[in-house]
Amino acid sequence: MSKSISDLYKNLEKEKGIHTDFKDNMTYGEYLHLDKILTSQKRLSSHHDEMLFIIIHQVSELWMKLILHELSSAIEAIQEDQLHTAFKMLARVSKTQTQIIQAWDVLSTLTPAEYLQFRDFLGKASGFQSYQYRLIEFALGYKSTPILKIYEKDPAVHEALKAAFQAPSIYDVSIEALARAGFDINPKLINRDYSNVYAGDPSVAKAWQEVYRNVDQYWDLYELAEKLVDIEDWLQQWRFRHMKTVERIIGFKAGTGGSSGVQYLKQVLDHRFFPELWDLRTEL
């Protein structure tokens, strides 16, 4: 036994308070429901690398669950003018996004030859169908009616998506916060039909420019704007890494869910969630 391991055991022996009897107490594994989580990786093929494929996507879905948890609470906080509370949540969203981006680096170790060994087992299942990713897009303001049909198989998921589809995005509530702060915002934007994708408005552009020209006066709104830019920046980096990883593994083949694959992923890179916050960089 090496000296370092021997020292470790000696240190553990000194820790007299460590609990070892859990007959009447909850364990770490029970708290996290590890029995369910760690038995949810069920390969459909016998290929070694399918385990990697499953775990990467499951972990990404867990991170997306956290993003949605923080985004939904941040939207409520902004509606209540509790901007400092929202800042903490939005900062956490950005940090979480970095974890999802790094996951693509792990998945990119899967080679085209390896993926082909189990790709057919996926059938029509595809990450394109991730309802949590759609909920994130909806929360950020990118909404598409045809996409809802994909989720009709699961009524509960479909209803949750429809509710999110009709709810204000984080940019909608930020624009409303500008109005409450005294900026002359187009009244048609307040309590609008949130199922329509926001396309930009001169009154919003003018308000954000005023915020950026008078940072000390509008510090909270300025900070909110920068937090939103952080989130869109990281999301676009996530989209780019997704696109390049797909291209690296399957080239320009169609996706298992029927999308055009890389071509579709390139198209969505052109979409902007918060247009005025990007345009003002040029206009200031």
DSSP 8-state class, residue 188: G
Residue 57 assigned as binding residue? yes
Angstrom distances, CA of residue 188 to CA of 143, 192, 213, 264: 19, 6, 25, 32
Residue 47 assigned as binding residue? no
Please say whether the beta carbons of 117 and 52 come within 8 A: no
Residue 43 assigned as binding residue? no
Q: Hey, what are 125's tokens?
A: 């299942």
Residues listed for the chain? 284
DSSP assignment of 45-71 equals SS-TTHHHHHHHHHHHHHHHHHHHHHH
Residue 147 assigned as binding residue? no
Residue 56 assigned as binding residue? yes
Residue 53 assigned as binding residue? yes
Task: In whole angstroms, give the CA distance from residue 228 to residue 74.
Answer: 11
Residue 274 assigned as binding residue? no
Binding site for substrate: what residues are annotated?
53-57, 115, 119, 256
Binding site for heme: what residues are annotated?
242
Binding site: what residues are annotated?
53-57, 115, 119, 242, 256
